[in-house]
Structure 1
């Protein structure tokens, strides 16, 4: 029987209701009571609740900002013997203007961005990865790679068995470890392509990229030894040979650090730590083979201490941004990122990275990709029966 029957003594009860009440301020049963739901939009009540909740959150955040500035920031210098440079620094508008005149607008900075689009149907899956390298002097290059998912069933001369093999393979594809690994590989190839293009396809003095240069996909090789070897080779050259790089995050990950960033005033940046601990955490948590684990550990030990993680803020009206740069050149690197970000103070993010992203999407975006796919289906006489009318619910 279902409903209303208490669990047996040996059966574990579900959990999470208490955590829900703490997070949302009401019991889950109250949320699920449809009689408590608004009828239609009920705009007046919705707006009143929005204003009340947002005002409360902003007040709490202002108090937290004051605590971070008064209590936490003064303790950063000297907090770590391995990174005594930690602390808050200030950049003047004059310094940023010099970066505009001598580096950015002279074409001495290149930025890289990538895009990824996919088509997945019953007979085939195709993924396209595009990378663009752009400076204020123009585009240095645009590159793309396409991956084709191919299903192969065992041919045994038994038509029924072959058909059932295909059906079983497709039914269980998204549960299969190898398919998950393939999706991870696509992310790894995209991350590798960005860094390889910055290293090998740009001649600019300074190179700019998005997010953590030593990303999880690259430090693990996404499960592929060849990708791990190639990634570590490229990262070693960027970090230990070129050195003049800065990567800026465009996501809200590391929200704890970003909370610290909201305590920064416009024109300030804070140096937090090196990537050594982050790298160790990734390597310790991943299952490698002996040779690949030794390779990853050696890279983390030698190169990750040379990369600094920090935060900058160019405007009181924009979010702080996480950045990564070489330890020896971090003060020059963050000024490059801040000078480019101050051009759009409301966004507070390097304009050159946005330009690279738009250039990449224009060259390798969804519309052009889907047009090519539809043309190929039409030539195959398949028309539109393999196109999903709607995507999955989100």
Structure 2
């Protein structure tokens, strides 16, 4: 199971499983144009043979939605963009969109991108989940257009019980195993309660991507995938050591290197994307700051666990993880701006993050790389890093050796889930 993408999870903190939001009958009707009772009435459902009406409705809904978006574009440009720079706490350069000149983009392509002046980093994770053992394979690649590349991999082996707590008593061992597994989700399922799985799956990969980009890249400019400070690192996925060590890396990237650009795949903020859709091709706009993006997470988060790593900030010992993350929010996050750009007429808007002092160059780099993919309008260098990582650390690089190991252990199929043996 491949994981993606850190910047694509909502900034929501909860002690238990995710809460189901209340949806009124009026909200349902407003969203879908029909009452829920009509949706549940099977008489309104079409048979598989009667598809002509289904397709007609589909075409009408899509056409009307696109027309509405087109109608609102100019009004968003007229009403929203002028207000961006007037908002309290608006970052530097916020406001009206900036237009890129093709000559400048071509110069960046020749002078930075194609000669290796920009390196991109991306990661992938594979999970082989069985009852006795869960294996996490985390791979990260670093690439440039000059042909240089590096790959790194780490595997974590999770067992619910590694030592016999009963001092050799099989009954106690079995009871302890049952108790521990009662807190885990089913096979190949994720649960907010299963903090170890979230830590091993998301946080470790996100940390490795940023640490490798910072400490292994030799390029002038660094390009990352997602949000430079994603939810799983800001919260530590429940582990304060992870939070502190991750924010150290992010701080060094932001304050010392500065020349970076992160581009998100599927950001959760539809407001940002709506503003982005109002841009013309080759335009970008600075909208907000990273401080705004992580503010709610930090304010509502739980940072009370013990920290075992060094918490020295500029020679000063920070006394609690809560004070540490608030310092990061107040002093580091404001230096990062959040913007949107649109590379081509066919492509959607993209969300990017950059240092405030280098935001214009960062936006030009992202757009110069994105116009190489007319239909996607997304940086091709990030796609290259993803393809390299997926090829080197794809599913078969884990599942093949694991299957062989289970076969040699005399249990080739015994612990596989139904879905794993369906095909």
2:331 corresponding residue in structure 1: 302
Offset of 1:81 from its aligned partner?
Answer: 5.7
Q: How does 1:253-332 map to 2 (within 5 A)?
A: 253-289=268-304, 291-332=320-361
Q: Does 1:142 align with 2:151?
A: yes
Q: Structure 1 length normalisation: TM-score?
A: 0.91
Residue 157 of structure 1 and its aligned partner are, at CA, apart by 4.6
CA contact (8 A) 2:183 2:193 kept: no
1:103 partner SS:
helix
Distance 2:48 2:191 in 1: 44
CA distance in 1, matches of 2:277, 2:90: 26
Kindly indicate whether the alpha-carbon contact (under 8 Å) linking 1:78 and 1:84 is maintained by their aligned counterparts in 2. no
Change (3 A) 1:299 1:331: same
Question: Structure 1 residues 156, 251: closer, same or farther in 2, change over 3 A?
Answer: same
Tell me the secondary structure at the aligned position of residue 174 of structure 1. Answer: coil
Structure with higher helix content = 1
Separation (CA, whole Å) in 2 of partners of 1:255 and 1:323: 14
> Aligned to 2:64, which of 25, 50, 56?
56
Shift of 1:41: 4.3
| 1:383 aligns to 2:397 (yes or no) | no
The match for 2:251 among 236, 239, 252 is 236
**1:120 alignment partner, one of 119, 129, 146:** 129
Aligned-pair CA distance for 1:84: 4.5
Residue 237 of structure 2 corresponds to 222
Worse-superposed segment, 165-174 or 279-288: 165-174
Structure 2: distance between partners of 1:279 and 1:362:
33
Aligned to 1:365: 394
Q: TM-score, normalised by structure 2?
A: 0.85
Q: How does 1:112-191 map to 2 (within 5 A)?
A: 112-152=121-161, 154-174=165-185, 180-186=194-200, 187-191=202-206
**How many Å apart are 1:156 and its aligned residue?**
4.7
Uncovered stretches (5+) of structure 2, i.e. residues with no partner: 1-21, 305-318
Q: What is the number of equivalent residue pairs in this alignment? A: 380
Do the aligned partners of 1:17 and 1:28 also contact (CA within 8 Å) in 2? Answer: yes
Query: Closer, same or farther in 2 for the Cα pair 1:351/1:145, shift >3 Å?
Result: same
Deviations 1:91-136 (A, max 9, x none): 0110100001100011111000100110111111111111000001
Cα distance change of structure 1 residues 177 and 383 upon mapping to structure 2, 3 Å threshold: closer
Which protein has greater RCO, CA pairs closer than 8 Å, 6+ apart? 2
- Which aligned runs of 4 or more in structure 1 are off by greater than 6 angstroms? 175-178
Shift in CA distance, 113/149, structure 1 to aligned 2, threshold 3 Å = same
